[in-house]
Amino acid sequence: KGTNRIAAGHGRLEAAKKIGLEKVPVTYQEFENEDQFYAFVVSHNAIAKDSWASLDLSMVNLELENLGPIDIDMLGIKDFVVEPIEKYDEEKDDDVPEVKGEPVTKRGDVWLLGEHRAMCGDSTMIDDVEKLMDGEKADMVFTDPPYGISVKNKMGEIKNDDSLDVFRDSMQQLYTYSKNPSHIYAWCSSTLILESGNIFSEYFDLKNIIPSMHTNLTTCVPKYHFRHNYEPCLFGMIGEKP
């Protein structure tokens, strides 16, 4: 009450507008904090999912990482299992499984696929990039380089993710191995558009920012609104290619 935010009944409000109603019945609900409000929104959708509402559990998971302590049972989601993170400590994302037998492709190999070249290598190593390009330069670049988005939540944080140094280094590599003229498309973080755009502009003529809209929108809680709703792609040029 007093915030004019809808916790439940978005569909009924839209239906009332469509049939021309000027007033609708309202029940006010008090919440102690934003986390409690979010829990109510999710639980209401979970209860109503067999009729009107639907839940994107991947988005619920994403938002739960940023919430404080909360009773998961309050969300009303069926078949939602919470397991201790220690269960997965033995498996690291960067762990490389052992190869059974002699691998066909080895570091430094370049596969020719028609006019395309695919390399088993490291894009941060200048020798690997030179071998892949084979003396040529790119007419167009479409890339999603690592960028700092300063991820930090109850699950922990990503090491060195508070820096855009890797993004800057990748832009320099792109400039070195792109033709004049050429087109450059580079994805970046929605929270660091200005910083990433400034770095991009040091090497390329920034023409526009292309948003990729996500269909699994966040809830109307202010501190989460629009956070995961889109991802920007920086579009720029070297030279004046039409």
* Buried/exposed code over 2-25 (b: 16+ C-beta within 10 A; e: otherwise): eeeeebbeeeeeeeeeeeeeeeee
Mean of the per-residue pLDDT values for the chain? 77
Query: How far, CA to CA in Å, does 233 sit from each of 3, 24, 70, 120, 138?
Result: 34, 42, 35, 26, 18
Q: What is the pLDDT of residue 109?
A: 97
CATH topology of domain 137-238: Rossmann fold (3.40.50)
Listed by start position, the domains of the chain span: 10-88, 98-136, 137-238
Which tens digit of pLDDT belongs to each residue from 169-180? Answer: 889 889 999 999
Are the C-beta atoms of residues 163 and 204 closer than 8 Å to each other?
no
Question: How many whole angstroms separate alpha carbon 213 and alpha carbon 184?
Answer: 20
Q: Which amino acid is at 126?
A: I
Which of these ranges, 24-38, 199-213, 219-233, has the smallest mean pLDDT? 219-233
Three-state DSSP state, 190: helix
